[in-house]
């Protein structure tokens, strides 16, 4: 009878411990995955509003209705990309990289050309309208 | 003997798991608490910067809407012309107060003076446009360029090193061009074109205000 009580207590302790351990581990995993998601979202937002995975292979970008189109392009090193402004408002093509494009204000129907000499992902914005974001992915 | 060892092992394992579970749970709880407080600080900082941006954008868009409303009312001889104009000028001083809250009273005074000038000159432009006076239109635009666009761009760039003068001058110049087009469209009865132009002007000024807000936040990171 005494042995049965001891075994019973041990079983209860084990079950409680196991439940606590499972909850603790599960909670941690959940937190980690949520942190990961948050970090990814932040990184994506801060770098660019466009999706590099959907980059279009082209060397020309149109600026229309306060947006760069395509928002994400891919080119090879040495390619000269041309931006054409179709808006009545002026826009700039300004990269966050010193190796990237840094245009003056481009007036309506004006163009700007830039040759990419280094591989990498170049995020750029219009400094007049900073919510206009786009990306150029340059590969070797 | 074996049975005793087995029971003892069971108790030891059970207690060990319980301790691990509790300590682990406590650690996670503590860490989660830390994360929450850090998130709270971040959200507060983001919120102040976002508030500035949202407020400036709202005032900028309001400026365009009121300009369109006031100019249309004046051109059409509507009874609400004076009230609309008063609201437009008040929006200007609200913007001036926002500038003053960051750069001081002198800055507010300068801003209000330059801002009012561009409103007054656009009244002259509208009158000239209605009467077909091209010289009068050009004179108003020239005054706006020399006494509003250039000095305001220069002033803001000097006040904030994160705002390039050339970019500001271009952006303010575009704002003037769009407003002039809106007036001409209304005078010509091209209301659809006027609405499209107003839409563009709204987006443009929202961008310009975002640029100003971002530059201010960058200049005073501790404040925002």
Q: What is the ipTM of this complex?
A: 0.71
Which residue has better confidence, A55 or A1?
A55
Whether chain A has a CB inside 8 Å of the CB on B210: the answer is yes
| Span A112-125, average pLDDT | 97
Residue in A with minimal Cα distance to B11: A10
Chain B nearest CA to A121, separation (Å): 23
**A64-108 tens-digit pLDDT:** 999 999 999 999 999 999 999 999 999 999 999 999 999 999 999
Which residues from chain A sit within 8 angstroms of residue B177, using beta carbons?
88
pLDDT, one tens digit for every residue, chain B (224 residues): 445 545 555 555 555 555 555 544 444 444 444 445 455 566 666 788 999 999 999 999 999 999 999 999 999 999 999 999 999 999 999 999 999 999 999 999 999 999 999 999 999 999 999 999 999 999 999 999 999 999 999 999 999 998 999 999 999 999 999 999 999 999 999 999 999 999 999 999 999 999 999 999 999 998 88
Return the closest-CA partner of residue B205 out of A140, A66, A133, A101.
A66
Which residues from chain B sit within 8 angstroms of residue A89, using beta carbons?
174, 178, 200, 203-204
Report the predicted TM-score, pTM, of the whole model to 2 decimal places: 0.72
Which residues from chain B sit within 8 angstroms of residue A14, using beta carbons?
10, 13-14, 17
The confidence score (pLDDT) of residue A54 equals 87
Q: What gap in Å lies between CA B46 and CA B50, rounded to an integer?
A: 6
Which residue has better confidence, A52 or B25?
A52
Which residues from chain B sit within 8 angstroms of residue A131, using beta carbons?
207, 210
Which residues from chain B sit within 8 angstroms of residue A6, using beta carbons?
7, 11
A14: nearest CB among B14, B20, B171 = B14
Q: What gap in Å lies between CA B160 and CA A56, rounded to an integer?
A: 37
Half-sphere exposure of B8 (CA within 13 A, CB side): 5
Q: Which residues contact B60 (CB under 8 A, 6 or more apart)?
A: B95, B205, B206, B208, B209
Count CB pairs under 8 A between chains A and B. Answer: 106
A9-A10-A11 Cα angle (round to 5): 90
**Between chains, do A130 and B25 touch, taking CB under 8 Å as contact?**
no
């Amino acid at each position: 009878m005494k042995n049965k009580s001891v075994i019973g207590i041990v079983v209860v302790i084990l079950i409680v411990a196991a439940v606590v351990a499972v909850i603790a581990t599960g909670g941690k995993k959940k937190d980690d995955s949520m942190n990961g998601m948050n970090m990814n979202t932040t990184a994506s937002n801060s770098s660019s509003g466009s999706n590099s995975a959907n980059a279009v292979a082209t060397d020309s970008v149109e600026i229309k209705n306060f947006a760069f189109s395509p928002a994400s392009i891919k080119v090879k090193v040495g390619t000269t990309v041309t931006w054409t402004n179709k808006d009545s408002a002026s826009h700039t093509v300004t990269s966050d990289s010193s190796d990237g494009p840094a245009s003056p204000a481009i007036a309506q129907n004006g163009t700007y050309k830039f040759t990419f000499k280094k591989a990498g992902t170049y995020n750029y914005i219009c400094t007049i309208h900073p919510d206009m974001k786009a990306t150029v992915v340059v590969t070797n | 003997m074996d049975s005793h060892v087995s029971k003892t092992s069971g108790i030891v394992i059970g207690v060990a798991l319980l301790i691990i579970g509790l300590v682990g749970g406590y650690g996670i709880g503590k860490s989660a608490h830390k994360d929450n407080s850090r998130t709270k600080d971040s959200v507060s900082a983001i919120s102040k910067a976002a508030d500035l941006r949202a407020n400036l954008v709202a005032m900028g868009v309001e400026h365009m809407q009121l300009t369109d409303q006031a100019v249309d009312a004046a051109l059409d001889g509507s009874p609400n012309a004076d009230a609309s104009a008063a609201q437009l000028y008040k929006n200007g001083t609200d913007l001036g107060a926002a500038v003053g809250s960051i750069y001081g009273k002198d800055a507010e005074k300068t801003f209000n003076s330059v801002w009012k000038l561009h409103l007054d000159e656009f009244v002259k432009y509208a009158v000239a446009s209605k009467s077909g006076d091209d010289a009068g239109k050009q004179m108003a635009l020239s005054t706006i360029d020399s006494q509003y666009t250039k000095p305001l761009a220069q002033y803001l760039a000097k006040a904030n090193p994160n705002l390039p003068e050339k970019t500001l001058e271009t952006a303010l110049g575009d704002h003037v061009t769009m407003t002039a087009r809106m007036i001409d469209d209304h005078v010509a009865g091209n209301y659809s074109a006027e609405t499209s132009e107003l839409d563009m002007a709204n987006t443009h000024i929202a961008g310009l205000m975002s640029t100003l807000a971002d530059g201010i936040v960058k200049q005073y990171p501790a404040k925002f």
